[in-house]
Structure 1
Amino acid sequence: MQLYLGGHLSWYDSQKRKRLEISLSKSTLLTQVLADLNIPIAEIAVGVVNGNPVLLFDNVAVTDADKVELYPPVGGGEKELAMALNANDILKAEFEYIAHTAIQANEDRARVSNYYFVTMGAAIGAILSAKLDPGSVAVHLAFVGVFAVLTFIGFSTLMQLARLRTAWQDSVRAMNVIKDFYVLHAQEFKLDAAFLWRSTSVPAGSSKKTVSFFLALSILAITFGTATASSVYLGVSIVDVGNFQLDAATGVIIGIASFCVGTALAIFQYKWYTRLVIESEKYQRERYQTHLEKYKAVLTARPVET
């Protein structure tokens, strides 16, 4: 087998479970290099030349400028080819992508809440600046529709905050899975002492001490006000259309009924919000536990190297 290589040689040591490297000063016969390193040629299953997987027993020509990597067999077939891939590269790319999704979830949370607050401010400002007849039935009905739409937008924003909260949790759990993997397999360092945030320390989605919860409370308070206002104008419109007398007693009844409607809607939205968060968090925990069980099963089934 006339296979020469030069410059850089790296391989994966299955017994030490780590990647080893050497630098070559000149072109060297591969069989001589493997003999010097006490690596039986029969144990080498996959080679990579300049990032392209090749079989070492094929007639592959390499020069001093080529980068050659060697990997041992791990069971045959697709597993051998998988060893030719750099696990650190894909883990790093995956970790960076997940971190970006976590950041994006936080940015979207701020963007969604700001959009709602700006919409509310613009609507209220337009109402206050408009020269409308406060006694007109048409104006009262228009206010009913405007405040009902604002209430619906508030409910939609609340649901988006719930989804973004759980999306951030999912990203953090995925990042911690990669951390746990490195902690388990790291040989040079005890990485468990370096990570304060782990899978067991992810804050609960139903926690009342988070920014997401306080944002949700702010939106709940506003939707309570818009729902109450819509109900008040609806009651006044009914009085106007029915030609009833709007006295103090009628006003109190309309006020109490509107307050009850606003309170009931706020409670409904709060329960829906917490339900979405808790159910999503439960699903994430179950998926995480399933992942751990599968990983433990793989470790248990893996043959012990001697």
Structure 2
Amino acid sequence: MDVFGDLFRGIRAHGSLFGSTTLTAPWALHFVDGAPLTLCTVLDGSGWIVPDDGPPEPLGAYETVVVRGPGTFLFVDTPDTTAPPVACGEFCSAPEQGGTTHRLGWADHRAGDTRAATLIVGAYPVHGEISRRLLDALPVVLRVEAGGTGDAVLDHLAAEVARDIPGQQVVLDRLLDWMLVCTLREWFDRPGGEAPAWWAAQRDPVVGEALRLLHADPAAPWTVASLAERTGVSRATLAKRFADLLGEPPLTYLTRWRMTLAADLLVEQKSATVAAVARTVGYADPFGFSAAFKRVRGLNPTEFRRAAAGVAAR
């Protein structure tokens, strides 16, 4: 498991697709859910993404924008559109809500209408502390132009939305996930970009291998010496390269990652004891685990679990 794949594990599309082949100017769709992460891509035509706080972003054919919540945003034909905003949420699929005649298929394209646009949106609920580390690396709005690796995915999306067959939603969900991965990869690798430290570190032959080992088995009794042996360098070399690329020593990184895993386990596995969670993330002593958790998270495990339950109830 690499770092990116690990952070992506709690982000999945699930029946959250909104598509339209009948958006004819003027239009203004207001996506009101405030999803933690929303992917918007245009198959044909063009429009503009207008976030709550930020400048409008043009969106042409085969271009993609990712919007980070909790703010809402508009998809409009032009920034100064005369169309009144139509509130559109997770179940926005009826024509009077800005959607289409067919929930499946969307095969009612008006041939030759140059003012129409085909918009695909995937709204992603983000579960847990793990995936939030990925969100923390993203701006409110990021944009990737056409011509990259995502174009092939969009070809598949264009073909799939034109059909009405069993299992379509499952296929569309997976295509959206694929599209999101391609989009984030290209954005992190853009010339002159400022990708998170862990992104570049994955490609270092030494530090990248150390990260893969830590993420593959975070509960193992890792030491700098054992990591150095597995990566084929001295302890001093590993420690220096790791700190240079990630800004912290290997075992400090491991502790923070273990506490992130533990935070999700405490919330997701309500019947698990603190001792059981401690063992899962590599601590034989629950007291040592609790001390480490409070040092990193600011609360002990029981307090954290209680606070998370209160937030969920609200």
- Sort the TM-score into its range (normalised by shorter chain): under 0.3
Asked which structure has the greater RCO (Cα within 8 Å, sep 6+), the reply is 2
Structure in which a larger fraction of residues adopt helix: 1
Q: TM-score, normalised by structure 2?
A: 0.21
